[in-house]
Structure 1
Amino acid sequence: EQYNNFNESELNREKIVPIIDDFHYVEDKEKHITNLLKYSLCVIIVDEIFNINIKDETLIYSFTTFRIKELKPSIRYELVKKWVGLSDKGFSYQGIDNNVELINNTLGRNIGKGLIPAYPFFILSTLFTYETFLPLNQDITSQGHCYQAFIYYYLGTKRGVKFDAMDVYLNFLSEVASYMHLTKKNELNPYDFSNFMKNYSSKYNLPISQDILLDNLFEIFSKNSFNNYKFKYQCFYYYFVAKAFSDHAEEPKEWERILDILHNLQIDENAYITVFLIHHSKKIGIFDEIERISSSLFSNYRPATLDKDELGFFDEQSHNIVKAVLPPTNHTPEMERNRRLKLEDQMEQSSDSEIEQVKGNGAAINDFRKAIKTVEVMGCIIRNRAGSLERDKLQNIFLDGMNVHLRLLSSFINIIKGDNEQKEIVEYISKRLSHLDEGKNPNEKLTEEKKKKYAYNIFWNANFFVIYGILYKIVHSLGSDKLIEISNQICENIDNPSSILVKHGILMGYEKNLQIDELNKRINENDFSKIAKKVAEMIVVDYSSVNQITYRDKQRIENTLNISRHRLK
């Protein structure tokens, strides 16, 4: 209507910028591109294989090509912040942090490198799906439900598949995913796919042609530019492998395959499949098996308590540990959040080779990784099924997951406790510090005494931050705003320094609730080691750095917990 009776020649053509979406659907593309070249600027939006269909390459070279980049953590944060600001509840750090965690879970960043690209469509669709549909039915996993919504939206809305025909597509996707998993193939060549289709057609009724089937599944499962068939995003592959396992879990062979996956959760693929398996299946044997596996990890050690008896040797070095300091008066939570987001950006954009170097090899590294991944999966289970699993089962999984990390921590404490081990590591660090003197004048070089002193401080501070880091991992692997009552009950029943730190870490992280008087009373009781008390102070400082706290409450923290404030010089 706006351009009705509009004479283009009356306008300066330099001021006209045509923008055409979905240009890859247009017929006779060369003709239209040639016509568009009369404008100095134009934008055409196409799929990723568009240029293959253009015969005249000079037409394509007249354009500058851009590709959508994934949103890095800092931009995802800004997008979520704007989304939260649109709600009736208004701006809150709790709302932002809960939604950021939801996005990271849905993208798969909580377990590995990710399942789907961090594009605005997937992020906003997740937020919308979660807020609109999830509260209506808690008997589903939030993560699995989001992917299910993506699939139904694409097939129903974009491709016009009727609801009663969905089963045809879902069954095909489950069977082809299961076949690929069984044959250990990431993609199927034309010969493999043809064989699969023959076997599939002999077993299941396919009321539509293969061409229509694949055409409607183009954004989920299709042929790539190598002429091989594969899932467009790995998330759909994992989702349908898990669905196939769930559909046939009663079969002995399938159950053996499920057990193999559950016993190797240190592999990202297995961890992702397990998360979706919990979405599709209510088979209680899966939960029981995960609990058995978790109980076997670092089973030679007792869960660390962080009390005086356990950390007496470490308490003697507490004067060497860095002091927790409250942020200065002119500090704002946004400043600290932005600083951390920049670090996250750098970490997420690091190369795959760097990530592989960190993973390493060997039994010790494998056991460590298996413990971390298993607990991450357990956390996904209880967060995603917080409204449908029985309370006893939620409590057992939370407790088992927490104890895996605490036994791991106990193994670490056992290593650093010995005098010989301490001496060896300090000497190693001291030798490494010698590299700092390379190329310096003799007067500028560190003395052997200073090297040893620095090495000693580095050793004990590194040990402290390992303890802090493992407790942080417990909080963020198992914590959830939906499980506050569960975590409180478990931690209060145990009632030792490590469980109390976990309890208050979850309260601060997921409820934005600092129970300062209760925490102060507990950390000053006789069983609390000096190191555990320092960890508590660090948790409070971390909370104060990224959340809005009034000047009066900052003074209360300073006076009650005796944590000094950073003073500007």
Structure 2
Amino acid sequence: MNSSYEDSERILDDDFSSTVILEGANQAGKTTLIKMLYIESIKRNNYPLLVSWENIKYKKIDTGLQRAYEEQYDNKTYEIYAQYDNSSKILFIDNLSSDKFSNLEIKSVIDKLKSRFGKIVITTSPRYDSLALIGMNQQDLLYARILPLGYKKRGKLIESFYRLTHQNVFIDKQLFLEETKKLFDEVQTILGDKLMPAYPIFIISILQSMNMMQPARIEQTSYGYCYHTLIHYALSVKAKVRNEDIDSCFNYLGELAFYLYKKGDEIQSLSNVELKKFHEEYANQFVSKNFQDMKQILLDSNIIVLDDEEYRFGYEYIYYYLVAQKIAAVVATDFGRNEIKKLCNNLENDKCANILVFITHHSKDSILIEEATLATMLPFEEITPITLDKGKEYYKLLESIVEQLKDNIIPAEIDPIKEREKNWEQQDKIEKNLPAKDEEDLSTLPQEIIMMRQAIRALEIVGQIIKNRKGSLPRTQLIDMVTELYFTAFRTIGFFGKLVTNTQDEIIENLKNDSNEYETKARMKERLNIFIQLYSLRFCLGIFSKVIHSVGLSELKEIFSEVAIKIGTPAAKVLSFSINTCYGRMSYGELQKIYKEMKSNPVVLRILKARVKSYLYNNHVDYKKRQQIAELFNWQVAPSQSNKQLR
């Protein structure tokens, strides 16, 4: 199995492998995928058959195929079907299992089927890794793994879901963009950074639970309800747990998660002996099923998986959700408060940060707000926040580079749907090139990096609290929290500016040792300056983007505007404008106002232009308004393709 990526739609292409074995984890969507391919193959004028591996008994292949044919076709006999040219016939086999067959027997069955079909597509589970050996010994056989959906496929699925749930309603094209963007952002928030795989079943479950949105407990947020629903589904549907036993299972899982949390080990797993010990301790406190029955429920639900003789939570989100629920339940006690403080003091650790994010979905206690807000202040409390006022330190770092960046043309016509797809495709490319997510040894990281991680995670957590509590916190408190969040972002950028400025000479000296003898120190410094300025601009925009996505919400437009006035700096004003136009429609009057205020500030104007262009590319903007904006920024409007052809 190589590490290249292929779109599943390619499987049906003539130049693709004639035999494809698709390995997929539980709930990865194996059956759904081959059913979709089945339908697509019909559209391509092929004659597919879909069979379960269980129905193809060794030496009784034709019996299983005939039964499948008679269930799926009604116009011709199987004998006639068998005579069709193999190139037009595709066989889909679901759930290949090596339980009852050796690899040689499986190979023999596949060989027999290859003489009857032009293409064979088979699904199997990861635990049958030995099947990969088949692929190594056969020509034109591809053994592939079904991966979670990338950004583009997630987006397309969300768009389809939205259309299906609004079938009888006229959908305004701009409203469609806004509503699907909102859904996409919410799904991304719940999926987290690989806390939950982006399998179709999870995305659809999230969308459905957001539609229902009836939290079981008043203190639980809408996001918390989504996580709760997913766990409930796993217990009731996958493990067939009766409704009256669901609460007991949740309690068992919560205690188990907290048991692992208290262990403090980096490896969050238990041997069978350790799991049994936990069960015995649990049974002394609570009424419970016997050990074997309880273990089977957990395994059947796939909430707990057996991996290399160790039991662990199948998905990180379940572990974090349950630990957070346990801490949230005791947050008013000394123990709970101490746990919150401990987590806030270790935000650079992904586990601590993730548990805190999940606690925000469970609790409305003031201690969480106090400690999380304090955590935003700590990393760079001695650093002066950037203002982007002319002549100030970070402004000077960016001044010369923004004058060199020329981008004064906008298209007359833009298709925001296609632009959004391009963005998703770009994100998919970036994602594919990222290294595997492994546990980091934080002790090896420089203190500066740890501090920046703390600040960025604090932005996420406070932003989530603000989103969750927007309707129950006083406006003054929301303004104070957003203000502190802005200052954290501005201090983080300021810290980065000091860092690169202070290490510039050291970098030049190191480069000098590696460069050729003909390059002068002045030339090296010039090249390094350009690099530092570009990177500093990118870092600034990156932190702004983090704030936008951490706290952005259309309902808080007035809050962001008030914070901009309260802080009063160009940085705060352009950031609030960016948030409000990312999560709402751009008013030309508001754009005129901020443009007039910032037109003599090239750095802020550059950031403003980038935001406006992003808006134009990602929203339906009528021609008149587009022309107004172009005139305001002195942009040239490129003629449309149709106009070019007419000429």
Same fold, judged at TM 0.5 (above) = yes
User: What is the CA-CA distance between 1:237 and the residue it aligns to?
Assistant: 0.9
The equivalent position to 1:327 in structure 2, one of 400, 410, 414, is 410
| Contact 1:497–1:527 (8 Å) recurs in 2 | no
Question: Aligned with 1:327: secondary structure?
Answer: strand
> In the aligned structure 2, how far is the partner of 1:261 from the partner of 1:363?
18
Q: What one-letter code is carried by the residue in structure 1 that aligns with 2:410?
A: P
| Contact 1:178–1:240 (8 Å) recurs in 2 | yes
User: What is the CA-CA distance between 1:143 and the residue it aligns to?
Assistant: 2.7
| Contact 1:324–1:541 (8 Å) recurs in 2 | no
Q: Which moved more, 1:229-238 or 1:387-396?
A: 387-396
The equivalent position to 1:375 in structure 2, one of 456, 459, 472, is 459
Q: Does 1:349 align with 2:432?
A: yes
User: What is the CA-CA distance between 1:315 and the residue it aligns to?
Assistant: 8.1
How much identity, in percent, do the aligned residues show? 23
Question: Aligned with 2:392: secondary structure?
Answer: helix
Question: Aligned with 1:463: secondary structure?
Answer: helix
> In the aligned structure 2, how far is the partner of 1:542 from the partner of 1:241?
39
Distance change >3 Å, CA 482–CA 267, structure 1 → 2: farther
Q: Which residue in 1 is equivalent to 2:622?
A: 550
| Contact 1:305–1:496 (8 Å) recurs in 2 | yes
User: What is the CA-CA distance between 1:164 and the residue it aligns to?
Assistant: 2.4
| Contact 2:187–2:203 (8 Å) recurs in 1 | yes
| Contact 1:430–1:452 (8 Å) recurs in 2 | no
| Structure with greater proportional strand content | 2
Q: Which residue in 1 is equivalent to 2:449?
A: 365
Q: Which residue in 1 is equivalent to 2:494?
A: 410
1:107-506 pair list within 5 angstroms: 107-109=191-193, 114-133=194-213, 140-183=220-263, 184=265, 185-206=267-288, 208-218=289-299, 219-308=301-390, 310=392, 313=396, 317=400, 320-329=403-412, 332-334=415-417, 336-352=419-435, 361-413=445-497, 421=502, 424=505, 427=508, 431=512, 453-506=526-579
Q: What one-letter code is carried by the residue in structure 2 that aligns with 1:151?
A: I
Distance change >3 Å, CA 495–CA 119, structure 1 → 2: same
- Structure 2 stretches lacking a partner, 5+ long: 1-69
The equivalent position to 2:82 in structure 1, one of 12, 31, 35, is 12
Q: Which moved more, 1:218-227 or 1:150-159?
A: 218-227
1:38-77 pair list within 5 angstroms: 39-40=113-114, 45-50=123-128, 65-77=143-155
Question: Aligned with 2:126: secondary structure?
Answer: coil
Q: Which residue in 1 is equivalent to 2:186?
A: 102
User: What is the CA-CA distance between 1:556 and the residue it aligns to?
Assistant: 0.8
> In the aligned structure 1, how far is the partner of 2:137 from the partner of 2:310?
28
User: What is the CA-CA distance between 1:139 and the residue it aligns to?
Assistant: 6.1
Deviation readout 1:3-41 (Å, 9 max, x if unpaired):
7999755641768766565666x9967899788986445
> In the aligned structure 2, how far is the partner of 1:316 from the partner of 1:60?
58
Deviation readout 1:285-322 (Å, 9 max, x if unpaired):
11111112212231113432222363674686377441
Q: Which moved more, 1:99-108 or 1:554-563?
A: 554-563
Distance change >3 Å, CA 191–CA 355, structure 1 → 2: closer
| Contact 2:560–2:580 (8 Å) recurs in 1 | no
Q: Which residue in 2 is equivalent to 1:535?
A: 607
Distance change >3 Å, CA 163–CA 489, structure 1 → 2: farther
Q: Which moved more, 1:328-337 or 1:481-490?
A: 328-337
Distance change >3 Å, CA 170–CA 61, structure 1 → 2: farther
Distance change >3 Å, CA 225–CA 125, structure 1 → 2: same
| Contact 2:419–2:618 (8 Å) recurs in 1 | yes
> In the aligned structure 2, how far is the partner of 1:321 from the partner of 1:59?
54
Q: Does 1:81 align with 2:159?
A: yes
> In the aligned structure 2, how far is the partner of 1:538 from the partner of 1:60?
50
> In the aligned structure 1, how far is the partner of 2:429 from the partner of 2:486?
29
> In the aligned structure 1, how far is the partner of 2:207 from the partner of 2:462?
23
Relative contact order higher in (CA < 8 Å, ≥ 6 apart): 1
Q: Aligned pair count?
A: 548
| Contact 1:430–1:455 (8 Å) recurs in 2 | no
Q: Which moved more, 1:82-91 or 1:161-170?
A: 82-91
Q: What one-letter code is carried by the residue in structure 1 that aligns with 2:465?
A: I
User: What is the CA-CA distance between 1:565 and the residue it aligns to?
Assistant: 5.0
Q: Which residue in 2 is equivalent to 1:441?
A: none
Q: Which residue in 1 is equivalent to 2:14?
A: none
Q: What one-letter code is carried by the residue in structure 2 that aligns with 1:199?
A: E
Distance change >3 Å, CA 357–CA 160, structure 1 → 2: closer
TM-score, L = length of structure 1:
0.82
| Contact 1:242–1:273 (8 Å) recurs in 2 | yes
Distance change >3 Å, CA 540–CA 431, structure 1 → 2: farther
Distance change >3 Å, CA 395–CA 143, structure 1 → 2: same
User: What is the CA-CA distance between 1:215 and the residue it aligns to?
Assistant: 2.1
TM-score, L = length of structure 2:
0.73
- Structure 1 stretches lacking a partner, 5+ long: 439-444
